[in-house]
Structure 1
């Protein structure tokens, strides 16, 4: 995706580390919804890392289906009735679920857009990792011309999505800095504060990665 392998490797490491963190969180004895949410986030990070290297192009439809289903799951949580306390609770929790549904939908759209990039790559362009895309081309070569025309229009969405996720990264960085300034001196809340800081940090990194990836597709 990127012409500079160092950037591709850096983003890959960030995504895999983030995915590993979510897997560790999913293994903890939280509520079932929390375990599912963390598992979905880990899966999204792994799939995005695969997108950077154009891996497993033949499974792109399955990737899109999984990510779209994850987006729907977070939407369901965001609109769930208050009595379902295991799902998103309170205005802040619902807003978080709405954002997470947008990140899942964005990752699904990124997979669709990558399909369009694979078509372009079949004319001789090689991804940053140096891996040929001939196999990926075969996965989409049979798509109808109408679908190809639709894919050609998708890059127009890359710029607003870049701006959106770039702004999201800034918001999470501000929240992280604000938390540092307002850091409590009570030791009993230290673990909770660390968890929130880690969450904001991961959200900021994830949004920045998505912004960079969409920027390459504009």
Structure 2
């Protein structure tokens, strides 16, 4: 009976294995599609599914103020133009500095955050990080830096009421388009990115204003940080 039982079970295990592989490989196929299709984030999909508000107006990178693109890069991933999706130096620094620091970014690049926001879940875990790293490498390989940043600026949560993307974040905080921001307003939005619920760009507290000032100064001193996403003339 045992050999027959084994034969009956083997196809079922193969089916489960194929399903697991399909789920794991699906993001890699979708990444190719997202070169031309404007995607939602997993958080946006969750909010849709649970009946919560979602406000997102997709705008191309060419219509987002360059000061916002630069501010986000200097705030989130200063070597965005130089690495291949994963910044090994920042990961090492994050591991060294993580103990006792509640606000550590975990060494995540913008590309890693795109991988997480598009395909994975919020919160920290070793499993999520293990899935995130190869996805970030793949995203950097098949998408241009401009497209990666464009996706990020259109799926990032930028308001406490379900506002996603630079356009909705700028409208809520400043009553203007993402293409018409001052350098300081851009820095405020960039500084709110880790948690726009507690870091409200519309009503910035002293800490958020100080951080925005820091990012504004960094951006003014490092315009080359966004060289890879400037539109070629």
With normalisation by structure 1, the TM-score equals 0.30
Q: Which has the larger radius of gyration?
A: 2
User: By percentage of residues, which structure has more helix?
Assistant: 1
With normalisation by structure 2, the TM-score equals 0.29
Higher relative contact order (CA 8 A, sep 6+): 2
